Protein backbone atom coordinates (compact mmCIF):
# COMPACT_ATOMS: atom_id res chain seq x y z
CA UNK A 1 0.00 0.00 0.00
CA UNK A 2 1.39 3.35 -1.03
CA UNK A 3 1.64 6.22 1.38
CA UNK A 4 -1.16 8.80 1.45
CA UNK A 5 -0.04 12.22 0.28
CA UNK A 6 -3.42 13.81 0.89
CA UNK A 7 -5.80 12.88 3.67
CA UNK A 8 -9.11 14.67 3.98
CA UNK A 9 -11.15 13.59 7.00
CA UNK A 10 -14.72 14.64 7.86
CA UNK A 11 -14.48 18.08 6.37
CA UNK A 12 -17.44 20.35 7.10
CA UNK A 13 -17.74 23.57 5.16
CA UNK A 14 -20.23 26.38 5.35
CA UNK A 15 -20.07 29.27 2.90
CA UNK A 16 -22.40 32.25 3.16
CA UNK A 17 -24.76 30.40 5.48
CA UNK A 18 -25.06 27.40 3.17
CA UNK A 19 -23.68 23.99 4.05
CA UNK A 20 -21.34 22.78 1.33
CA UNK A 21 -19.74 19.73 2.95
CA UNK A 22 -21.06 17.71 5.87
CA UNK A 23 -18.28 15.21 6.32
CA UNK A 24 -16.20 14.76 3.22
CA UNK A 25 -13.28 12.34 3.41
CA UNK A 26 -10.82 11.21 0.78
CA UNK A 27 -7.33 9.78 0.54
CA UNK A 28 -4.87 10.30 -2.27
CA UNK A 29 -1.93 7.95 -2.61
CA UNK A 30 1.49 8.82 -3.86
CA UNK A 31 1.95 8.77 -7.63
CA UNK A 32 -1.66 8.24 -8.59
CA UNK A 33 -4.04 10.22 -10.72
CA UNK A 34 -7.00 10.97 -8.51
CA UNK A 35 -10.27 12.54 -9.59
CA UNK A 36 -12.90 14.35 -7.57
CA UNK A 37 -16.29 13.91 -9.21
CA UNK A 38 -19.71 15.26 -8.47
CA UNK A 39 -22.56 17.32 -9.86
CA UNK A 40 -22.26 21.07 -10.31
CA UNK A 41 -22.60 22.72 -6.93
CA UNK A 42 -21.51 19.62 -5.01
CA UNK A 43 -18.52 21.51 -3.64
CA UNK A 44 -15.70 20.02 -5.68
CA UNK A 45 -14.03 23.34 -6.36
CA UNK A 46 -14.52 24.43 -2.76
CA UNK A 47 -12.82 21.23 -1.60
CA UNK A 48 -9.94 21.83 -4.01
CA UNK A 49 -9.61 25.39 -2.73
CA UNK A 50 -9.46 24.06 0.82
CA UNK A 51 -6.67 21.68 -0.16
CA UNK A 52 -4.60 24.49 -1.65
CA UNK A 53 -5.21 26.80 1.32
CA UNK A 54 -7.42 29.30 -0.44
CA UNK A 55 -10.34 28.48 1.86
CA UNK A 56 -10.63 27.00 5.34
CA UNK A 57 -13.13 24.36 6.33
CA UNK A 58 -15.34 24.80 9.38
CA UNK A 59 -14.10 21.55 10.89
CA UNK A 60 -12.35 18.34 9.91
CA UNK A 61 -8.72 17.83 8.99
CA UNK A 62 -6.85 18.16 5.73
CA UNK A 63 -3.36 16.73 5.66
CA UNK A 64 -1.17 17.47 2.63
CA UNK A 65 2.26 15.78 2.40
CA UNK A 66 2.01 15.18 6.14
CA UNK A 67 1.21 18.77 7.11
CA UNK A 68 -2.09 19.48 8.86
CA UNK A 69 -3.43 22.59 7.17
CA UNK A 70 -5.18 23.84 10.31
CA UNK A 71 -2.08 23.98 12.44
CA UNK A 72 0.51 24.66 9.76
CA UNK A 73 2.95 27.51 10.41
CA UNK A 74 3.79 30.34 8.04
CA UNK A 75 7.14 28.90 6.98
CA UNK A 76 5.83 25.38 6.46
CA UNK A 77 2.88 26.79 4.51
CA UNK A 78 5.10 28.64 2.09
CA UNK A 79 7.31 25.57 1.69
CA UNK A 80 4.18 23.50 1.01
CA UNK A 81 2.96 26.03 -1.55
CA UNK A 82 6.23 25.55 -3.40
CA UNK A 83 5.82 21.80 -3.49
CA UNK A 84 2.58 21.85 -5.41
CA UNK A 85 1.45 23.26 -8.72
CA UNK A 86 -2.09 24.36 -9.52
CA UNK A 87 -3.70 24.55 -12.93
CA UNK A 88 -6.78 26.75 -12.76
CA UNK A 89 -9.75 26.14 -15.01
CA UNK A 90 -9.03 29.10 -17.23
CA UNK A 91 -5.27 29.00 -16.84
CA UNK A 92 -4.98 32.18 -14.76
CA UNK A 93 -1.78 33.16 -16.55
CA UNK A 94 -0.66 36.66 -15.68
CA UNK A 95 -1.77 38.64 -18.72
CA UNK A 96 0.87 41.32 -18.39
CA UNK A 97 3.72 38.79 -18.59
CA UNK A 98 4.89 36.64 -21.47
CA UNK A 99 4.56 32.86 -21.26
CA UNK A 100 8.27 32.59 -20.42
CA UNK A 101 7.96 35.20 -17.66
CA UNK A 102 4.90 33.43 -16.29
CA UNK A 103 6.80 30.16 -16.00
CA UNK A 104 10.00 31.77 -14.75
CA UNK A 105 8.23 33.81 -12.06
CA UNK A 106 8.37 31.16 -9.29
CA UNK A 107 11.94 30.29 -10.30
CA UNK A 108 12.91 33.94 -10.07
CA UNK A 109 11.27 34.42 -6.68
CA UNK A 110 12.15 31.16 -4.97
CA UNK A 111 15.52 30.04 -6.34
CA UNK A 112 19.03 31.29 -7.14
CA UNK A 113 18.88 30.07 -10.72
CA UNK A 114 20.39 32.70 -13.04
CA UNK A 115 18.69 34.01 -16.16
CA UNK A 116 20.26 31.45 -18.50
CA UNK A 117 19.32 28.47 -16.39
CA UNK A 118 15.82 29.91 -15.92
CA UNK A 119 15.44 30.19 -19.67
CA UNK A 120 16.56 26.59 -20.07
CA UNK A 121 14.17 25.39 -17.41
CA UNK A 122 11.35 27.34 -19.09
CA UNK A 123 12.15 25.81 -22.46
CA UNK A 124 12.28 22.28 -21.08
CA UNK A 125 8.94 22.81 -19.29
CA UNK A 126 7.44 24.08 -22.53
CA UNK A 127 8.74 21.00 -24.27
CA UNK A 128 7.31 18.79 -21.53
CA UNK A 129 3.84 20.22 -22.09
CA UNK A 130 4.22 20.03 -25.86
CA UNK A 131 4.62 23.70 -26.72
CA UNK A 132 7.12 25.10 -29.22
CA UNK A 133 9.93 27.35 -27.94
CA UNK A 134 8.49 30.25 -29.98
CA UNK A 135 5.53 30.35 -27.62
CA UNK A 136 7.85 31.54 -24.84
CA UNK A 137 7.84 35.16 -25.95
CA UNK A 138 4.10 35.39 -26.61
CA UNK A 139 1.57 36.98 -24.27
CA UNK A 140 -1.39 34.94 -22.96
CA UNK A 141 -3.79 37.02 -25.09
CA UNK A 142 -2.00 35.67 -28.17
CA UNK A 143 -2.60 32.01 -27.28
CA UNK A 144 -5.48 29.68 -28.09
CA UNK A 145 -7.48 27.98 -25.33
CA UNK A 146 -5.53 24.73 -25.52
CA UNK A 147 -2.21 26.55 -25.54
CA UNK A 148 -3.24 28.59 -22.48
CA UNK A 149 -3.93 25.35 -20.60
CA UNK A 150 -0.58 23.91 -21.61
CA UNK A 151 1.28 27.10 -20.75
CA UNK A 152 -0.49 27.23 -17.39
CA UNK A 153 0.45 23.59 -16.82
CA UNK A 154 4.07 24.46 -17.59
CA UNK A 155 3.89 27.21 -14.96
CA UNK A 156 2.40 24.75 -12.46
CA UNK A 157 5.35 22.43 -13.18
CA UNK A 158 7.99 25.15 -12.90
CA UNK A 159 9.20 24.15 -9.43
CA UNK A 160 9.03 20.37 -10.06
CA UNK A 161 6.06 19.94 -7.73
CA UNK A 162 5.29 16.72 -5.90
CA UNK A 163 1.58 17.43 -6.23
CA UNK A 164 -0.37 18.76 -9.15
CA UNK A 165 -3.91 20.11 -8.73
CA UNK A 166 -5.95 20.44 -11.90
CA UNK A 167 -9.35 22.13 -12.04
CA UNK A 168 -11.26 20.71 -15.01
CA UNK A 169 -8.16 20.25 -17.17
CA UNK A 170 -10.00 19.17 -20.31
CA UNK A 171 -12.95 21.58 -20.15
CA UNK A 172 -13.03 23.92 -23.11
CA UNK A 173 -10.81 21.67 -25.21
CA UNK A 174 -11.97 19.83 -28.32
CA UNK A 175 -12.21 16.01 -27.98
CA UNK A 176 -8.90 15.39 -29.73
CA UNK A 177 -7.17 18.09 -27.70
CA UNK A 178 -8.72 16.73 -24.52
CA UNK A 179 -7.35 13.20 -25.14
CA UNK A 180 -3.93 14.66 -25.92
CA UNK A 181 -4.06 16.58 -22.67
CA UNK A 182 -4.94 13.36 -20.83
CA UNK A 183 -1.98 11.63 -22.42
CA UNK A 184 0.23 14.54 -21.40
CA UNK A 185 -0.90 14.34 -17.77
CA UNK A 186 -0.31 10.60 -17.73
CA UNK A 187 3.14 11.02 -19.24
CA UNK A 188 4.08 13.68 -16.72
CA UNK A 189 2.93 11.45 -13.89
CA UNK A 190 5.02 8.57 -15.25
CA UNK A 191 8.17 10.60 -15.86
CA UNK A 192 8.10 13.13 -13.04
CA UNK A 193 6.43 10.88 -10.49
CA UNK A 194 4.04 13.66 -9.59
CA UNK A 195 0.74 12.92 -7.84
CA UNK A 196 -2.21 14.40 -9.70
CA UNK A 197 -5.50 15.50 -8.14
CA UNK A 198 -8.09 16.76 -10.55
CA UNK A 199 -11.67 17.87 -10.74
CA UNK A 200 -13.24 16.59 -13.92
CA UNK A 201 -16.54 15.89 -15.62
CA UNK A 202 -14.90 14.24 -18.58
CA UNK A 203 -15.93 10.57 -18.64
CA UNK A 204 -13.14 9.77 -21.13
CA UNK A 205 -10.54 11.17 -18.75
CA UNK A 206 -12.00 9.11 -15.92
CA UNK A 207 -11.97 5.95 -18.01
CA UNK A 208 -8.59 6.66 -19.59
CA UNK A 209 -6.14 7.89 -16.99
CA UNK A 210 -7.75 8.18 -13.56
CA UNK A 211 -6.53 5.56 -11.07
CA UNK A 212 -8.87 6.29 -8.22
CA UNK A 213 -11.64 8.76 -7.54
CA UNK A 214 -14.00 10.17 -4.96
CA UNK A 215 -17.60 11.02 -5.72
CA UNK A 216 -19.23 13.89 -3.84
CA UNK A 217 -22.98 13.95 -3.47
CA UNK A 218 -25.36 15.07 -0.76
CA UNK A 219 -22.50 16.99 0.85
CA UNK A 220 -20.39 13.90 1.55
CA UNK A 221 -18.17 11.37 -0.16
CA UNK A 222 -20.53 8.67 -1.40
CA UNK A 223 -17.92 6.49 -3.07
CA UNK A 224 -14.15 6.26 -3.24
CA UNK A 225 -11.88 3.89 -5.13
CA UNK A 226 -11.01 2.68 -8.59
CA UNK A 227 -13.60 2.81 -11.36
CA UNK A 228 -14.49 -0.84 -10.76
CA UNK A 229 -14.98 -0.24 -7.04
CA UNK A 230 -17.01 2.88 -7.58
CA UNK A 231 -19.28 1.16 -10.09
CA UNK A 232 -20.29 -1.32 -7.37
CA UNK A 233 -21.85 1.52 -5.41
CA UNK A 234 -25.62 1.41 -5.09
CA UNK A 235 -25.89 5.14 -4.54
CA UNK A 236 -28.40 6.79 -6.89
CA UNK A 237 -26.11 9.60 -7.94
CA UNK A 238 -23.23 7.24 -8.72
CA UNK A 239 -25.56 5.07 -10.80
CA UNK A 240 -26.88 8.08 -12.69
CA UNK A 241 -23.38 9.45 -13.24
CA UNK A 242 -22.05 6.22 -14.73
CA UNK A 243 -25.19 4.93 -16.40
CA UNK A 244 -23.70 5.32 -19.88
CA UNK A 245 -20.38 3.75 -19.08
CA UNK A 246 -19.67 0.08 -19.65
CA UNK A 247 -16.51 -1.34 -18.26
Q: Please report how close the Cβ of residue 139 comes to another protein at its closest, in angstroms.
A: 8
Residue 225 backbone zone (phi > 0: left; psi -120 to 50: alpha; other: beta):
left
- Min separation Cβ 84 and another protein, Å: 14
Q: C-alpha distances in angstroms, 112 versus 115, 161, 232? A: 9, 17, 51
Q: Does 68 interact with another protein (rule: CB under 8 A)?
A: no
Residue 128 contacts another protein per CB under 8 A: yes
Q: Smallest distance from the beta carbon of 226 to another protein, in angstroms?
A: 24
The verdict on 56 binding another protein (CB under 8 A) reads no
Helix (H) or strand (E) holding 67: strand 67-68
| 2 interacts with another protein by CB under 8 A | no
- From the list 194, 127, 201, 206, the residue with the least C-alpha distance to 167 is 201
Binding mask 32-51 for another protein (x = CB under 8 A): --------------------
| Residue 52 near residue 199, CB atoms below 8 Å | no
- Which of 55, 65, 105, 113 touches another protein by CB under 8 A? 113
Which listed range, 54-62, 137-145, 197-205, 223-231, lies at the site for another protein (CB under 8 A)? 137-145
Among the candidate windows 5-13, 129-137, 176-184, 234-242, which touches another protein by CB under 8 A?
A: 129-137
Sign of CA dihedral 47, 50, 54, 55: positive
Tell me which residue of 66, 59, 40, 62 sits closest to 49, measured CA to CA. 62
Of 76 and 204, nearer to another protein (C-beta) is: 76
Amino acid sequence: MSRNVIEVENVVTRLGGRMIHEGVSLHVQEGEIYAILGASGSGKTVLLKEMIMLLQPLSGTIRILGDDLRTIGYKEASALRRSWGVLFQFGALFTSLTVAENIALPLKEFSDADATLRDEIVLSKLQMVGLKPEVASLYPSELSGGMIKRAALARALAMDPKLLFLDEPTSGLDPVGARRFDALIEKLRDTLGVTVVMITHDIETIRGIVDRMAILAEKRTVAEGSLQNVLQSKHAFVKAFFKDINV
